[in-house]
Amino acid sequence: MKNRRGKLYNAKTPLTIPRIDFIREELKKDATSLTVDHARPNVNIQERINEASLQLKNIFQDIRNEGKIQLDKIVLIKAKVAPVIAEAAKNPDVYYLFEELQANNEYTYKHNIGVGIIATYLGMKLGLSKENLSALTLAATLHDVGKTRIPDSILEKPGKLTAAEYEEMKRHAIYGYELLKSIPGIPPSIALTALQHHEREDGKGYPHGLMGNDIHHHAKIVAIADVFHAMSSNRVYHRAMPFYKVIEQMNSDKFGKFNPEILMEFVNRLMSTLVGKEVTLTNGRNGTIIMIDPYDPLKALLKTGTEIIDLRMEKEWQIERIIG
């Protein structure tokens, strides 16, 4: 296969899916020693996100052209990209970044930044240690690095993929693992997250069809961040879903596809950041969220002018989008 510049992908190295017993051993011995530098706090965070996205784009293009990941690329991500993600995730009003996190163009690169911020935010709320959180940030940022081995004709195809194209797209999880597994100085969780972020709790994910404890904890977090960001973004083959549809879909998956404790924590934390935000409802009216029902987060209490709207009572109305 050739990339957009006509260079051949290296097809000499046989592609192997790691054995499940090996994966279990990697899960047991995973340890981290990464750190994150929270520098330049006064620089506009949205500008820094854009800068980080451009840096990651250049890094991914180098990986695509070289067919491997040099250690200096990991060092650059840890030094230049990870601190931006960590800073953005620390903001208690993380939803103000939502428009920046939506990947309206250059999806492959902005998606990795968006997933990094969402996963790091969630990891903080789950109480991960500093070392684990730093490893999660790096894993989330690199979770789709295997797509550097997928032809642009598939990545950027505006229509539905053929069965063969879809099978090739799914192999990005294995490609990512192959690229990351032998890099010195990074924990096994980085490669495992790339391999497992499409695994699902019900065993219906890929590439192994794993369930439960056979999926790394970081991969479970990244899976939620990955799906949330993907559904919330415009892509070449579909428009972003309305906000309520995204949350409804994720809620419906909490006892099947995703770890329910992690997903419930994410949805409840996300919705709590929306108190005080202006939203547009599916009936076209705007209102400000004044209270969230913790048992049914989408059924918020809103103020619109002098009127109070209780979405628990208005069954046909939903939150279409967040204005700010």
Question: How many Å apart are CA 120 and CA 125, to the nearest integer?
Answer: 9
Name the token pair of 212: 């439960």
Name the token pair of 22: 């090996």
Q: For the sheet containing 307-310, what is the strand order?
A: 307-310, 301-304, 286-291, 278-281, 319-322
- Residue positions annotated with a catalytic role: 147
How would DSSP label each residue in 204-249? -SSSS---GGGS-HHHHHHHHHHHHHHHHS-BTTBPPPPHHHHHHH
Is residue 306 within 8 A of residue 320, CB to CB? The reply is no
Burial 88-103 (b: 16+ CB within 10 A, else e): bbeeeebbbbbebbbb
DSSP collapsed to 3 states, 130-176: HHHHHHHHHHHHCCCHHHHHCCHHHHCCCCCCCHHHHHHHHCHHHHH
Give the up-direction half-sphere exposure of residue 72: CA atoms within 13 A in the CB hemisphere. 1
